[in-house]
Chain A
Amino acid sequence: MSQPLDTLWYTRCPVPTGLGIAVQKGWLEEALEQQGTRIQSLRESSEQAVRESHFDHTLQNSVRHGGNIPAIWAKASGRDTRVIGLSWADEVQLILTLPGSDIKTVKDLKGRKFGLPHWVNAQIDFTRAQALRGLENALKLEGLQVKDVELVDYIHGGTFSDEATQVVNGVANFGGRRNSGQNAELVGLLRGEVDAIFLKGAHAAQLAHQLGLHTVIDTGSHPEPLIRSNNGTPRTLSVDSHLLDQHYDTAVAILSSVVRAEEWAWTHPQDTRRFLAHETNSSEFWVTAAYGADAHQRLRTNLDERSINGVQDFTDFLHRWNFIPATFSVADWIDPRPQETLRSLVATRTG
């Protein structure tokens, strides 16, 4: 039987997620209040260990919706988590060069220097993993491999959870201030130390514009889903097994509020665009540039075959590049029960 839960910790990435909208709309709070559960934001905590759980998922009774790399890493490192949903919101994934560069297409990257971030103190360096993935997928399309380019590391100190997220006017900055060096590889590109770098999402679109950079390829808009699959495609909605075992109704309520937020988004493009601008700390114009004019339609959490294949392929990638100690079966990681329960609840209600 499901036990009452006192506090649910929640966290989501500064990207388009159903959980993010459910939080902003107050629907997560509302759904859990009915079960006597209060909610707490993990990334706004004053404790670094709590904030770090956004990445390593150590906190019991927590839910996370966001980039799949930290979730895959936590699972591969032995955390007992389960995926209860996957959402695939395509976004721009850009390989960028200077405007005067002779690198115009992916083929031209052969033998050139590619700048990669390297967060030495982070448990899981998702920025490096996603850049490598974008690069490898781009090269693959031209029959090239990562070893055909010269990788240049840009060392970042600190971790991703050094600063608490600040919320001003309901707008989070997501610890955006990681201080100098946040864009070390971009600065390296401008200085001519490297020939190309990877950036993604709304900030990538904006920076490419402000600095007049040339887009060699956007793997995020390739027709083949496995070429597009990366940290954000698909994103994982995950909880710890303890929550599922002891507080199953909470898990169902979480999924229910996420789905409610997404269904609301489909018919509220303007409001959704504003929410996404809040979440990404960007403008509505840049949100649209990065996530499409149909960004509101791209919020769909389910357990589609395409998404499962995408996560499996990406898990194998992370293992091949030693970001995780062992690969595993993504199908076994998924717990479809909350989705099934939710569906039968809806069927009962409408039936």
Chain B
Amino acid sequence: MTKPLDTLWYTHSPVPTGLGIAVESGRLAEAFRPYGTNIQGLRESSDREVREAHFDHHLDNSVRHGGNTPAIWAKASGKNTRVLGLSWSDEVQLILTTSETGIKTTRDLRNRRFGIPKWANVQIDFGRAQALRALENALQLEGLTLADVELVDYPYGGTHSDERIQHVFGAQIGTKNRRRNNELIGLLRGDIDAVFAKGAHGVQLADEFGLHVVVDTGSHPDPMIRSNIGTPRTLTVDQHMLDEHFDAAALIVETVLRAEQWAWSHADETRRFLARELNTSEYFVAAAYGEDAHRRLVTRLEERSLLALQDLTHFLHRHHFIDHAFDVRDWVDPRPLESVLGKTRLAI
């Protein structure tokens, strides 16, 4: 090893990621065991500051695989991070309404009330950003803009790191275990006309309450329309790790790729893993991520993913989620992935 790494901090969002499988299956710990590296989950830390690093990536020697919005924000805010890989697992991205509104298609959203979350105290409000992105993309397909819709804010207090995360039967559960979906309640009460929900929980809510899907931007043929917080997801580390512990960075990439390769041939076990990770049923995993969900776990640096990441960076800048846009190609460090693909015979 370049220089022995004492502690590696890892974090992954409760979504389908290669790192998530690598961690939960014990592969990551196993890979680092020969080097005496201690593996620690950031979000399970008792220290709020450490947990917040899932979103702002301020910890040295940490790796994160998850939604790109916090990663883009951290980079734009001056955190010295690098992208080692991008994974694109298409998922449903739903604009939902009730049968009472009479809204059938995206065009009908014109001049209607759309509820979006607004987290007052967070550094980066990714929930708001993802809803706005899907709405903007959907409207754009019909020649409409966000100005054609009335946005209704649903305020939330607190932050996403207030609670220590525990893995309970696979699910990432906050210790206080309370999170209301205020926009959904607003929709069901008839206060607003439409909301955004994505992934397995989106499908489940639509099913549970018999909601009408106005549009699923997650299944549009154009990848730019599908691109959002989870498409693609970023695998990032801090520059310090690359400079001082390059072998550790390469080992992370290798472990993620191996976990994904395992997933491709283990559909059943992967689906169970995803259901546990997302705290939903396997049925809804298949409904949201496809019956080929296991095959969608592929971390690379594909051109399509880079273009989408760039487009999202401009989107976040345009809506003032970040101070300035930047060139995502400069943000990527392809060396660890290249070294892994060069050295191992991964079946691609």
Contact = CB atoms under 8 A, between A and B. Distances in A.
Interface string B270-304: 01100110111111101100010000000000000
Interface string B93-106: 00000110000000
Given A171-B281, A190-B189, A210-B181, A183 B291 contact: no
Interface in A161-176: 168-169, 171-173, 176
A171 B283 contact: yes
Interface stretch (A125-133, A270-278, A338-346): A270-278
Interface string A252-291: 0000000000000000000001100110111111111000
A241 B324 CA distance: 76
B171 A285 contact: yes
A287 to B, nearest CB: 8
B169 A273 contact: yes
A282 B170 CA distance: 13
A284 B170 contact: yes
Interface string B174-190: 00011111001100111
A169 B268 CA distance: 8
Indicate the member of B168, B169, B173 with the most A CB atoms within 10 Å.
B169
A248 B52 CA distance: 64
Interface residues of B, number: 39
A181 interface: yes
Contacts of B155: none
Interface in A284-318: 284-288
A191 B188 CA distance: 8
A66 B180 CA distance: 32
Contact of B207 (A177, A207, A211): A177
B180 A173 contact: no
Contact of A274 (B178, B180, B189, B272): B272
A281 B210 contact: no
Interface in A49-78: none
A152 B137 CA distance: 42
Given A169-B286, A274-B272, A285-B173, A183 B208 contact: yes
Contacts of A281: 281, 283-284
A190 B185 contact: yes
Interface size bracket, A side: 35 or more
A180 B209 contact: yes
A229 B283 CA distance: 30
Given A284-B171, A285-B170, A173 B283 contact: yes
Given A187-B209, A285-B168, A209 B178 contact: yes
A286 B281 CA distance: 10
B208 A282 contact: no
A285 B210 contact: no
Indicate the member of A191, A203, A277 with the most B CB atoms within 10 Å.
A277
Nearest to A270: B169
A283 B171 contact: yes
Nearest to B185: A190
B189 A191 contact: yes
A210 B180 contact: yes
A282 B180 CA distance: 18
Interface of B: 98-99, 168-171, 173, 177-181, 184-185, 188-190, 205, 207-211, 267-268, 271-272, 275-276, 278-284, 286-287, 291
Interface of A: 99, 168-169, 171-173, 176-183, 187, 190-192, 203, 207, 209-212, 273-274, 277-278, 280-288
